[in-house]
Amino acid sequence: MTDHASSPPPLQRTLAIGKIEPGSAAERALHDLWESRPGWRGWLSTVDHKSIGLRYLVTAFLFLLAGGVEALIMRVQLARPDAHLLTPEQYNQLFTMHGVTMIFLYALPVLSGFSNYLWPLVLGARDMAFPRLNALSYWTFLFAGLFLYASFPFGEAPNAGWFNYAPLAGLTYNTGPNIDTYALGMVLLGISTTVGSMNFIVTFLRMRAPGMSIDRVPVLVWGTLTASGGNLLAVPSVSLAFFMLWLDRRIGTHFFDVLNGGRALLWQHLFWIFAHPWVYAVVLPAMGIVSDALPVFCRRPLVGYLPVALSTVATMIIGFVVWIHHMFATGIPALALSFFGAASMVIAIPSAVATFAWIATIWTGRPVFKVPFLYFAGFVFLFVIGGLSGVLTAAVPLDWQLTDTYFVVAHLHYVLLGINVFPVIGGVYFWFPKFTGRMMSERIGRVGFWILFAGFNVAFFPMHIAGLLGMPRRIYTYAPDMGWNTVNMVTSIGAFVFALGVLIFLFDLVYSQRRGPVAGNNPWDAPTLEWSVPSPPPPYNFAVVPRIASRHPLWEQRITGSMHSQLAHGYVLNQGREALGTTALDGDPDVILKMPKDSYAPFWLGMASLLFFTGLALTAWWLAGFGLLGCAVAIAFWLWPQRELGQRDDPASPGAQAGAAS
């Protein structure tokens, strides 16, 4: 059975408008129909977007802890000159895996966790468009991360930096399995990113609540949608680059081998065509979190919704034409330097639009200084610092002086860590009541924020100074007479303070899950649809598919009462696992979709893919063939037709007719 009918007929039956009372027989039937099985069977087979979203969040935070431990070990090594805690090879593996972990295994997956959990709820849907693809995206992400980290115990972790430049990543200079592991792991991770991005895009186009036209979509959705579109265009570039590198190393091709007619610079082009849009893929959804949650604590709608939504899309579009600013020092012709330098400055304009919108929202509102608001306000501060340092490196002569110094490391951490971690933690505090039905601690949260904020700036702002003093990046030690002793010691102290703040947050997270005060459905008085359902939401999300007529339906309901009937009385879909498909622009009811039941196929397909890539890494062709066969079998089970529950005995029923194409 596919995720739903490939070519479903429009509105197979007349849609009924009604209400399903909590606790009624109809509500219990919906609950039983959508709920996953208990125990390990349900854990492996569930396609519920809420379970998958929480798994993304937990797994990404575990990788954040792993990347943080790697960073702290490096900071101990760099705290004093001539330190010998690590050998050069150990340091290479640590800083490579730190970068890989934070950029690829934490930054985007944690945002995918938010989006997987929240999208159907804020859009008024019962699930994502393709629930099984959703499960597959998680399993392949998890297995790709485990695949990369499996090299650590053998001392063969990736060791050429997360940028993995050729020819240093070639077989001539790196003969071990380190780079093969990285190359194949990134291809496997690219599969996860690609199927997840397709799912988000189709969900946006077809799964919005009736009445939710595109000018009523929350900014959180615009951020993830734009990132997903960028990923579909960018990920093939880096997947191709890593596969070509693996072919160079194991099959004997010469794509990046200069001595045999290859081009080492080709690697940088393919990598940065991907990596710079990726920067915005891990920032734009975080900006969407701030744009939707910050106004709740300002007690007013976001200032400039339309400019912010347009600037979100414009940022990603311009992001595809600025990759060369990572290559200003490689001998690029002057005309190209001028063009890409100008484009790198222009991209600051849409970011500034969003920044001024947030500031105007705070200025014209009545801020309530809760913990989520502190994190969002801190994000705006860090966003400005990171953006300004980025504009500096867009100036070609200045970039020539700063490239490959710690100034670039400082900029990278402000835009990838500060602009991601602070909205993420603020988002956890904001949506934790919806995730668990409990509130997190205000007192612990405030202490954790100020420690985290102070530690972040103490750790990473001095790196700007180290870069201006000429400290190169990627060195594992330095001489005591270089003048870098103080800034490195301060940075290392700040890193441990920042780590303490993260631990306080995690303690609050675990403590509040069991002992936090019970939250109601809408403890923040927020305006969007996810706060109209119980906390945590039921398996089916909405008993009836809601109808909306504004951008802030819950605020409209509270102020005028006019929305009450449209939210409480919606489209009744209770003939099997059903969801309502709507038109792409206006959100008009268009089709009834039969959603798939839970399935083991995504898990087994992910496991078989892991076996296939493991076989390639070990050049064990029999294992790769076994994995490939497993993929074929899992896909066959995935696509095998099944009849819907409750439709076996009455093929003439409307529900059976609607699901016939499934």
pLDDT band at 644 (very low <50, low <70, confident <90, very high): low
Which pLDDT belongs to residue 508? 96
- Name every residue whose Cβ is closer than 8 Å to that of residue 636 and which is 6 or more positions away in sequence: none
| CA 556 – CA 494 distance, rounded (Å) | 45
Which pLDDT belongs to residue 651? 32
Average pLDDT, integer, range 414-423: 92
Three-point CA angle 26, 28, 34, nearest 5°: 105
Which pLDDT belongs to residue 650? 36
Q: What is the pLDDT of residues 522-551, one digit of tens each?
A: 999 999 999 999 999 999 999 999 988 889
Average pLDDT in the chain = 90
Torsion of CA 390, 396, 398, 404, to 10 degrees: 70
pLDDT of 642 above 90: no
The residue among 450 and 558 whose pLDDT is bigger is 450
The SS3 assignment for 472 reads strand
pTM: 0.93
Which pLDDT belongs to residue 661? 29
| CA 242 – CA 347 distance, rounded (Å) | 28
The SS3 assignment for 289 reads helix
Least trusted range by pLDDT, from 138-142, 258-262, 533-537, 650-654: 650-654
Torsion of CA 385, 67, 62, 45, to 10 degrees: 100
Helices (H), 251-366: 264-281, 284-298, 305-319, 334-346, 348-364
Write the DSSP assignment of 21-82 as a string of letters.
-TTSHHHHHHHHHHPPPSHHHHHHH---HHHHHHHHHHHHHHHHHHHHHHHHHHHHHHSSTT
Whose structure tokens read 């859009």? 123
pLDDT band at 11 (very low <50, low <70, confident <90, very high): low
pLDDT of 459 above 50: yes
| CA 460 – CA 60 distance, rounded (Å) | 22
pLDDT of 46 above 90: yes
Q: What is the pLDDT of residues 63-77, one digit of tens each?
A: 999 999 999 999 999
Element (H, E) at 582: strand 578-582
pLDDT of 649 above 70: no
Average pLDDT, integer, range 415-430: 94
pLDDT of 656 above 90: no
Q: What is the pLDDT of residues 617-639, one digit of tens each?
A: 998 999 999 999 999 999 999 99
Which pLDDT belongs to residue 566? 62
Least trusted range by pLDDT, from 185-189, 226-230, 386-390: 386-390
Q: How many CA atoms lie within 13 A of 185 on its CB side?
A: 24
- Name every residue whose Cβ is closer than 8 Å to that of residue 4 and which is 6 or more positions away in sequence: 129, 130, 579, 593, 594, 595, 596, 662
pLDDT of 597 above 60: yes
pLDDT band at 563 (very low <50, low <70, confident <90, very high): very low
pLDDT band at 654 (very low <50, low <70, confident <90, very high): very low
| CA 104 – CA 279 distance, rounded (Å) | 10
Q: What is the pLDDT of residues 107-166, one digit of tens each?
A: 999 999 999 999 999 999 999 999 999 999 999 999 999 999 999 888 899 999 999 999
Which pLDDT belongs to residue 646? 43
| CA 17 – CA 572 distance, rounded (Å) | 6
- Residue 195: C-alpha distances to residues 128, 315, 549 (Å): 12, 23, 32
Q: What is the pLDDT of residues 303-321, one digit of tens each?
A: 999 999 999 999 999 999 8
Query: φ, ψ for residue 322 (rounded to 5)?
Result: -130, 15
Residue length of the chain: 662
pLDDT of 565 above 70: no
Query: φ, ψ for residue 282 (rounded to 5)?
Result: -95, 0
The SS3 assignment for 538 reads coil
Which pLDDT belongs to residue 13? 65
Which pLDDT belongs to residue 595? 92
Which pLDDT belongs to residue 22? 81
The SS3 assignment for 270 reads helix
| CA 242 – CA 616 distance, rounded (Å) | 13
pLDDT of 350 above 50: yes
| CA 159 – CA 237 distance, rounded (Å) | 21
Q: How far apart are the first and last CA of the chain?
A: 6
pLDDT of 349 above 90: yes
Token pair listed for 67: 């990347």
Average pLDDT, integer, range 34-52: 94
Report how far Cα 12 is from the mean position of its chain's Cα atoms: 36
Average pLDDT, integer, range 492-499: 97
Token pair listed for 394: 């867009």
Which pLDDT belongs to residue 229? 96
Which pLDDT belongs to residue 155? 85
pLDDT of 367 above 50: yes
pLDDT above 90 covers a percentage of the chain that reads 78
Which pLDDT belongs to residue 296? 96
